[in-house]
Structure 1
Amino acid sequence: MQMNWIKPLLLTVLVSVLTLTGCTTSKDKLLPHDDNTMLTVWNAGTGGSTVSGQHGQQLLDARQHLRRPLSESNADASQYTRNAQNEIYSQFKRLPNPDLVMYVFPHLAGTDPVPVPGYSTVFPLYQRVQYAMPGERVETY
C-alpha cells in the first residue's frame, strides 16, 4: 500500500525521457542542405528530365493533344455541366413569392417632425424563399 506513489513517478520519468530523446534529432540531419534547386527536385520527381529533353517533348505533345479547341457543337456546354446552382434549381424549384408594391404617403418622422415625401417600396409577400420538394412542382411561373 505504501508503494502506490512509485508507479506514477516512474511513468512521469519514462514519459519525460521519451520526450527528450525525441528532440535529439538535428535539423541538418533531418533536412539536409544540398545544392539542389526546386527545378532539379521537380525534374527528379517528374521523370528526371527537363522539358527540352525527349521525355519533355513527349509530355508537351500529350498536353497539346489534350488542349483541343472548343467546336461550335460543344461551345455551350454550360447546360450539361453540374454546379451547385443548377443542381439546386433543377431539383428544388422555387415556389412563387410575388412582390408587393406599397406606397408610403408623405408624413412627418422623428422626434423633430421632419417631412418625408411619399415613395414606393417593393417587398416580397412571404418573409422567406420557399422551395418545393423534388418532383412536387414541375410547371414554371
Structure 2
Amino acid sequence: MKQRVLPFLCLAVLLTGCSTTKDEMLPPGDATMLELWQNKGSSARTATEARSTLRRGLSDDDSVARQTIEESYTRAAENEIQQVFPRLPNPDMVIYIYPHMAGNAPAPVPGYSSVFPFYSQVQYALPGERTEAL
C-alpha cells in the first residue's frame, strides 16, 4: 500500500509546483520595455556615482607596496631565461691571419685578426646545473 501511495504523492507535489501562473510569480508592471531601457541609463549612472564616493585613494605607501608586490609577480622572458636557464659562457677565439697572397692573380693581403665564438650556438644550462665553476 505504501509503495502505491508514494508515486501519487510525488506527482501531486510536482503538479502543485506548476500550479502558479507567471503573473503571480512576476506581476507585470506599468512600464513598457522602452521605458525600462531608458531608465536603465540613469540607474547605472547613479550606481557609478555611488561606487565612486565609496572608493578611497591609495596613499603613497600603499601605492609603493602595491607596485612592489606587482613587480615580484611580473614575469618577463628576460627574467625567466636568466633565472631558470642561465647562459653558459661562450669564450671568444681570436685568430691571427698572417699576410698572404690571394686569388688567381696573386694579390697581397695584409695580416689581420678575427674574433669568433668558440661554440657555434648559444648554450644554456639546465635548471639546477652549476654554472659558478665555469
Tell me the TM-score normalized by structure 2: 0.45
**Which of the pair is proportionally richer in helix?**
2
- Larger Rg, first or second structure (1 or 2): 2
The higher-RCO structure (CA 8 Å, 6+ apart) is 2
